[in-house]
A and B are shown apart, each in its own frame.
Chain A
Amino acid sequence: MASNFSIKHQPGFTTIAATCFVVLYLPIIVLVLYAFNAASSTSEWGGFSLRWFQSAYQNTQVIDATLRSFQIGAIAAVLSTIFATMAALATTRTAPYPGLTFKYAAINQPLMVPEIVTGVALLIFFSRIKIFTGYSGLGYLIAAHTAFCIPFAYLPIRARLENMDLTLERAAADLYATPWKTFRRITLPLLWPGILAGLMLAFVISLDDVVITEFVKSGGQDTLPTYMLGQIRRGVTPEINAISTAFLLLSVAIVTLFFFVSRKRD
């Protein structure tokens, strides 16, 4: 019977599943463990200590890079979510027309194009602008992050819109709501969980980016990931483990927060 088929009872299932989990989580567990190492080695255990967390916290470069990461992440996440919401509305609240598929592809382009290509392209493009305008602030990084975060924000918002009953908006219009009021009172409230998901996803993606940031950043514009990469080149201390652990906790916190927020909204 097809209905009785269960993947769980296939030979080797447990072994494969266990192996995958070990490969996924064991390195992370080791990383977190050595963040609490009293010794200066990332492989030899010298007793429990919080000294590397303290050292990271007192390292102004680390704090500086972290704040910059948050700043770029927050602005890029908000901007990309706004653009993604508009794009999602424009591509779902319309009758299908020739060229719509092309637009989907164009919006999702940053997912397909290798990051290194985008990075190089932006490096060349922005260097021209820098010469013309003389401006070399964080704007370039924010623009770059906003651009590659759009598809990540777009996907959950579009999924939410596609599952939304169009009749609701029609009913609002029937009850004398203008298009703007229909959006404010019906579409937007029902879309919120999707928008929040998009926002958090965009923030995490921005926070995590190395390749494009590495190409676009000017001197003194290290984000936390590019700073860590730079440090590793000079040899690894458990300070990197400590920063990674803090980073991990933050990501877990954001995902958990999102889970509860979206559950309450539904």
Chain B
Amino acid sequence: MPDKPDRNAIEVVNVSKIFGSGEGQVAALDKVSVSIRENEFFTLLGPSGCGKTTLLRLIAGFDFPTAGEILLYGQDIAPLPPFKRPVNTVFQSYALFPHMTVADNIGFGLEMLGKPKGEIKARVAEMLKLVKMEALAGRRTAQISGGQQQRVALARALAPQPKVLLLDEPLSALDYKLRKEMQIELKRLQHETGITFIFVTHDQEEALTMSDRIAVMSSGKILQVGSPWDIYDKPAERFVADFIGETNFLTAAISGTGNGKARATLKSGTTIEATVAEGFQPKDNATVVVRPEHAKLTKDKGDLSGTVENIVYFGTDTHIHVQLDGGEAFTVRQQNTRSAGCGFERGDKVGILIGNDAAQVLRD
């Protein structure tokens, strides 16, 4: 909401979580700080074991931080038990109560809050409608499909109108098509309810399509926070660039840094302009990344030159793997047309043109 002043729903301040003791000590979270804005669809993205689920559990109250504060609208909730936090969770396994009906599951939170019966009934009806499950209100949770269980889990967590909704890889158990549907459904629910969503996933595509902002995590640290566009096009570190999408890494000599830009001289001798990761002063040598779709193949001389090694057809596009003359590998992604092939063959001597604004200098 650009016209509203940004308020922070959650502020994680210097939070560490250490498991084990002595020699076997493992820092699942290492002095993590991040602010999550009100009404935001915020995603914690990273490979398994990166600490994203641990952070979610700390916010939910299933575990307590070793150090640091977790503020919910300015109030430190880190020491509170889960039942005293106005935060609800959608679990990866859904965790629906098997001995209750769909409606009773959805009403459970309100009942525990001591709401009057009439209010619970009205709210449950509203929630059933929101997730389009009115017809199955009286069913046991074992009698409905995985996708329907997912909807009930969402309705149950949304019913008490939490200040923040936590979602722990909720789509991972669904098949591809249903997952796509639920991604859209989740965005709709977030929009309609106006509740802050914190979503945990290891699926970079899911993160890019759904989030307002993404925090990329690795080994207990947050490496970069930004919009999907920032994360994809302006990765700050090698890990971020590598984890999200496909990318080409090139070593280059850097000169003329300033204004967030630098001149990068590639091994081929060509010099291109590149953006620089925020707050970073590159030294002489650095890694430059170029996304495969931001480079173009040519039969003439380009910024780089090499030999076509392999051509892989993907339907919407074709990936052309090139062995650069300097020995490095480089992939170019080329949009397909119906009428013509990609125009290149294995063994062709080719040039690679790197577009203006296509290269980014990494911090590593």
- In the bound assembly, the distance between CA atoms of A3 and B243 in angstroms comes to 42
Q: Are B113 and A171 in contact (CB under 8 A)?
A: no
Contacts of B89 in A (CB 8 A): 171, 174
Stretch at the interface among A39-47, A96-104, A129-137, A175-183: A175-183
Contacts of B98 in A (CB 8 A): 168, 190
CB contact list, B75-109 vs A, under 8 A: 81-84, 87-89, 91, 93, 95-99, 108-109
Q: Are B112 and A186 in contact (CB under 8 A)?
A: no
Q: Are B83 and A186 in contact (CB under 8 A)?
A: no
Contacts of A165 in B (CB 8 A): 93, 95
Contacts A181-B112, A190-B99 given; does A174 touch B82 at CB 8 Å: yes
Q: How many residues of B sit at the interface, in one of the four size bands?
A: 20 to 34
- In the bound assembly, the distance between CA atoms of A190 and B88 in angstroms comes to 23
Measured CB to CB, the nearest residue on chain B to A166 is B95
- In the bound assembly, the distance between CA atoms of A172 and B104 in angstroms comes to 12
CB contact list, A97-122 vs B, under 8 A: none
CB contact list, B136-163 vs A, under 8 A: 156-157, 160
Q: Shortest CB–CB separation between residue A183 and chain B, in angstroms?
A: 13
Residue in A168, A178, A190 whose CB lies within 8 Å of B83 = A178
Measured CB to CB, the nearest residue on chain B to A173 is B82
Chain A 145-176 interface 0/1 with B at a Cβ cutoff of 8 Å (1 = within): 00000000000000000000101101111111
Q: Are B108 and A175 in contact (CB under 8 A)?
A: yes
Q: Shortest CB–CB separation between residue A171 and chain B, in angstroms?
A: 4
Q: Are B112 and A171 in contact (CB under 8 A)?
A: no
- In the bound assembly, the distance between CA atoms of A174 and B96 in angstroms comes to 12
Contacts of A176 in B (CB 8 A): 83-84, 109, 112-113, 160
Q: Are A175 and B99 in contact (CB under 8 A)?
A: no
Is A139 interfacial (CB 8 A cutoff)? no
Q: Shortest CB–CB separation between residue A210 and chain B, in angstroms?
A: 40
Is A189 interfacial (CB 8 A cutoff)? yes
Contacts A170-B82, A189-B99, A190-B98 given; does A175 touch B88 at CB 8 Å: yes
Q: Are A168 and B97 in contact (CB under 8 A)?
A: yes
Q: Are A175 and B112 in contact (CB under 8 A)?
A: yes
- In the bound assembly, the distance between CA atoms of A167 and B82 in angstroms comes to 13
Q: Are B62 and A170 in contact (CB under 8 A)?
A: yes
Q: Shortest CB–CB separation between residue B211 and chain A, in angstroms?
A: 23
Q: Shortest CB–CB separation between residue A146 and chain B, in angstroms?
A: 29
Most chain B beta-carbon contacts within 10 A, residue among A178, A181, A185 = A185
Most chain B beta-carbon contacts within 10 A, residue among A165, A168, A174, A177 = A174
Q: Are B97 and A174 in contact (CB under 8 A)?
A: no
Q: Are B93 and A173 in contact (CB under 8 A)?
A: no
Q: Are A171 and B83 in contact (CB under 8 A)?
A: no
Known A-B contacts: A168-B95, A174-B62, A190-B98. Give 9 more (CB < 8 A).
A165-B93, A167-B95, A170-B95, A171-B91, A173-B62, A175-B83, A176-B84, A185-B108, A186-B97
The contact sample of 23 A-B pairs, CB cut-off 8 A, is A165-B93, A167-B91, A168-B95, A170-B82, A171-B89, A171-B91, A173-B62, A174-B62, A174-B82, A174-B83, A174-B87, A174-B89, A175-B83, A175-B88, A175-B156, A175-B160, A176-B84, A177-B83, A178-B83, A178-B112, A186-B97, A190-B98, A190-B99
